[in-house]
Structure 1
Amino acid sequence: MMSIIETLGVWSWFIAGVVLTIAEVFAPGAFLLWLGLAAFLVGIVSLLIDWGWQAQFIAFAVFAVAAVPLYRRIGRQPDDASDHTFLNRRTEALVGRVFTLETPIVNGFGTVRIDDTVWRVQGPDSPGGGKVKVVRADGATLTVAPE
């Protein structure tokens, strides 16, 4: 095995980089990608510097270890949380919005139309057609206050 690596020389690092990068496709997790990039980097440096295989393996180890904090900094940037703020709590996105009552609030309950859905609302008695502001969302019932 060592004789094959020695005969390939610098190209063995590029081959290792390609193999690790392809392996990343079959075992995703972005870990093998960084090892592949470390192998490519050792290959590029080996084109410029004539050094022994021991030094190359040490350089590969150093680049691989250095890739971990680089991956944490670059590869795992958090998604913009504002895109999915109300993903599983969609009714909470209605809090603070103003709507027109479809039916009057009588005995504490009425309805509003929001887009293509009629929502049950609770709040102080108000005439139909009046403006109300959603102050709280509790399941499928919205608590409103006169606007």
Structure 2
Amino acid sequence: MDLLITALESLNVWWWLGIAAALLITELLTGTTYILWPAASAFVTALFAAFVGWPVELAIFAGLGVLFLLLGDRFVKPRLKSGADSGLNTRATYLVGERVTVVSGFTEGRGRVRHGDTEWSAKTADGSDLAVGASAVVTALDGTRLILKA
């Protein structure tokens, strides 16, 4: 027991910064955001470590860890997830609202269109057929197929 008390009494700013760094490295390896909050609380605890004793340090670490976890899970994590639909690595999402040109005649509402130097499989929203050379606007995506409005 004396060994534990001695270890706790040796906690200082550098120990808390080391704990924060280790937790941040673990967070980088897992990518869950759950380990980010104890890392943040360890960093904040390091700011107080020079002024308070180890019982208060542990209370600050535990209290802030729970608080940061609740607030981060409630407010930060949904914003991180909303960025998942940003269109990054999905080139077709940037085509919504763009004008395309029909390169092969549509039959049964399906055909091919060109935007820039790329041809895309497409279908019309209302099932109508478009002639070669006609212009249309991309309204949505269905997988890799563009949905068009004449």
Aligned to 1:59: 60
Shift of 1:117: 3.3
Question: Paired residues, what number?
Answer: 135
Aligned to 1:36: 39
1:21 aligns with 2:24: yes
Residue aligned with 2:83, SS: coil
* Structure 1 spans left out of the alignment, 5+ residues: none
**In 1, are the aligned partners of 2:11 and 2:54 still within 8 Å (CA)?**
no
Aligned to 2:9: 6
Aligned to 1:83: 87
Q: Residues 142 and 71 of structure 1: is their aligned pair in 2 closer, same or farther, counting only changes over 3 Å?
A: closer
Listed as ranges, the matches of 1:103-118 within 5 Å are 113-114=113-114, 115-117=117-119
Deviates more, 1:2-11 or 1:38-47: 2-11
Rg larger in 1 or in 2?
Answer: 1
* Structure 2 spans left out of the alignment, 5+ residues: none
Distance in 2 between residues matched to 1:22 and 1:110, nearest whole Å: 50
Distance in 2 between residues matched to 1:5 and 1:100, nearest whole Å: 73
Alignment RMSD: 4.3
Shift of 1:53: 2.1
**In 2, are the aligned partners of 1:97 and 1:133 still within 8 Å (CA)?**
yes
**In 2, are the aligned partners of 1:13 and 1:40 still within 8 Å (CA)?**
yes
Report the TM-score, using the length of structure 2 for normalisation. 0.57
The Cα offsets for residues 39-76 of structure 1, whole Å up to 9 and x where unpaired, read as: 121121122x2x33222211111111121244232354
